[in-house]
Amino acid sequence: MKIIDLHCDTIMRFYAGAHLAELTDGHIGLSRLRAGECMAQCFAIFVPTGAAAERHGVSETPEEYFQTAYAAFQRELARCADSIRLSRSAAEILANDAAGYMSAVLTAEDGVTLAGRLENLDDYYEKGVRMVALTWNYENSLGYPQSRDAAQNRLGLKPFGIAAVERMNELGIAVDVSHLSEGGFWDVARVSRKPFVASHSCCRHYRDIARNLSDAQLRAVAESGGVVGVNFAADFLHDAAGDPFTSCEWVVKHLRHMADVGGMELPALGSDYDGIRSRMEWKDCGGAQMLAEAIVREFGASDAEKICSGNALRALRDIIG
């Protein structure tokens, strides 16, 4: 069962000097992607700011960090060109797959480096960025993050955020609402003329945290033609206090709820590999077929194929070409 994963944070490891072909710890490595039957892996340039920058020992400005991380991503693609290639469209993902290559799709987590300038979106596009999470955990020029504070969570997109969504639609960059405030989410749903996605989020029905989506939000993503990639973090899936373990069963529960609420075209995979600390039943990307088998048992082979790759591929085709 081929896998398309909408989010990982492995570029942070490239930034620190690690090499994709040599990674044996963490969640992602070249040989393990192959073993897990990866068709396409979305690699996010997560830009650490505030306390996150301190925690990760990042002293560069967000703009400097983005450029350094981008260069590290390019370096790893060049080193692994016989196995994985950059894809800028769904058509390229399919062409790479037919030729025996895996695909790497470049995304950005936190539009902080857009800094209120639409021309920076054009630069993103030229670099191959095909999905942007508008915010991370801090306010930026586009809008506000999800929050446990109800009043802050109602804050919508700023004027630049509205303009950025419109420009992303024009360019063919997917709008990612994971991490975005609920007010911002509904602004995206109102403004976007193309499908939008939540690359790594789960269902509030099972785990009532700000980062998860309500049933109304799930329906809105589905009505746009977008997808929600289930996050593999245990504390997104269930109350993980004292037991940060992610089972196939819990992932399947959230996928089933997404399908029941938004239809079979909605659920997808958005692991958050190398950005979470949970222990997964299937261990890492190399064990993805264990999870795929659990999805097949719940949904049957045809619908499981939609979850594992088909829905994401369709949404990307409709958004980025």
The tens place of each residue's pLDDT in the chain, 321 residues long, gives: 999 999 999 999 999 999 999 999 999 999 999 999 999 999 999 999 988 889 988 899 999 999 999 999 999 999 999 999 999 999 999 999 999 999 999 999 999 999 999 999 999 999 999 999 999 999 999 999 999 999 999 999 999 999 999 999 999 999 999 999 999 999 999 999 999 999 999 999 999 999 999 999 999 999 999 999 999 999 999 998 888 999 999 999 999 999 999 999 999 999 999 999 999 999 999 999 999 999 999 999 999 999 999 999 999 999 999
Do residues 86 and 70 make contact, with C-beta atoms less than 8 angstroms apart? Answer: no
> What is the structure's pLDDT at 65?
97
Q: Which tokens go with 88?
A: 């800028």
Structure tokens at 272: 């958050």
pLDDT given at position 91: 98
pLDDT of residue 243: 87
Q: What is the dihedral of CA 163, 223, 269, 69, to 10 degrees?
A: -10
CA distance 71 to 88: 17
